Amino acid sequence: MIIAIGLYPGFTALDALGPYQVFTTVPNAEVVLCAAETGTLNDDQKLLNLHVDATFADVPRPDILLVPGGPASLALARDNAPIVDWVRDAHPHTRWTSSVCTGSLILGAAGLLDDLPAATHWHFRDELAKYGARPTDRRVVVDGRIATGAGSSAGLDLALTLVAEFAGPELAQGIQLALEYDPNPPFDAGSPSKAAKPIVDVVSFMMDAFEKEWSRDNSTAGRMAAPRGA
């Protein structure tokens, strides 16, 4: 069982590392972090200097493929970046092709979501619809071999859902227990239907600004960013 998590400069750490934590706890599953090029890769905060030593070409046939979201994902999807090709070529052979947050846009750009229900970050549902998907407000959508999750933290729920499918509910529950995933956030504001309207508006504004900043500063989207301080 090979589980490939496809990274790119400007991914959101939690989108990738939530599922990573679940999948690496599965006995005999090999998790591979890969990217278009080997080398050091930054997250969207430019603080997480991750050394990736596998390329997409090194993992052409993963059993599970997962693409995290992040502000850079919009441009990657629009520009048909290498990660889109990787997803398109690998998908016919995967057991599940999956995404967290705006990683769904990359699945959409690869032509995988045409007329399918799919989850994404709540603020980017309209963007996802441009790729022919039918965005939902569900947290995890498993439609045949395609599994999509909502914003960032939904990756935990997505990964546990897939583990239950391929390794049984007992193992999924064991991993949930090992990670003490008995969530109890101090507020109930995790979706736009639950948060106060002014908070939804401010967060929408900031997410747009963050995405635009990334598009502007990273015109070579998908290429390796220089390490911080370089």
Report d(CA 109, CA 186) in Å as an integer.
37
Given a contact cutoff of 8 angstroms between Cβ atoms, the answer to whether 215 and 75 are in contact is yes
Report d(CA 137, CA 158) in Å as an integer.
14
* Residues from 62 through 101 that contact its own copies (CB under 8 A): 101
Q: Pick from 213, 178, 156, 109: which is nearest to 15 by CA?
A: 156
Q: Is 115 near its own copies (CB under 8 A)? A: no
Given a contact cutoff of 8 angstroms between Cβ atoms, the answer to whether 87 and 230 are in contact is no
Q: Which of 79, 169, 213, 226 binds its own copies (CB under 8 A)?
A: 169
Q: Is 167 near its own copies (CB under 8 A)? A: no
Q: Is 180 near its own copies (CB under 8 A)? A: yes
Q: Is 160 near its own copies (CB under 8 A)? A: yes
Handedness of CA 138, 142, 148, 154 (dihedral sign): positive
For residue 34, indicate whether it is catalytic. no
Q: Is 173 near its own copies (CB under 8 A)? A: yes
Cβ within 8 Å of residue 221, ≥6 positions away: 8, 9, 10, 72, 75, 76, 79, 81, 214, 215
Q: Which of 4, 7, 33, 81 binds its own copies (CB under 8 A)?
A: 33
Q: Pick from 16, 113, 143: which is nearest to 67 by CA?
A: 16
Q: Is 230 near its own copies (CB under 8 A)? A: no
Q: Is 55 near its own copies (CB under 8 A)? A: no
**Of the residues 101, 112, 128, 140, which is catalytic?**
101
Residues that bind its own copies (CB under 8 A): 12-14, 17-18, 20-21, 24, 31, 33, 40, 45, 47-53, 101, 121-122, 139-140, 150-154, 156-157, 160-161, 164, 169-170, 172-174, 176-192, 194-196, 199-200, 202-203, 206-207, 227-229
Q: Could you give the residue numbers annotated as active site?
A: 101
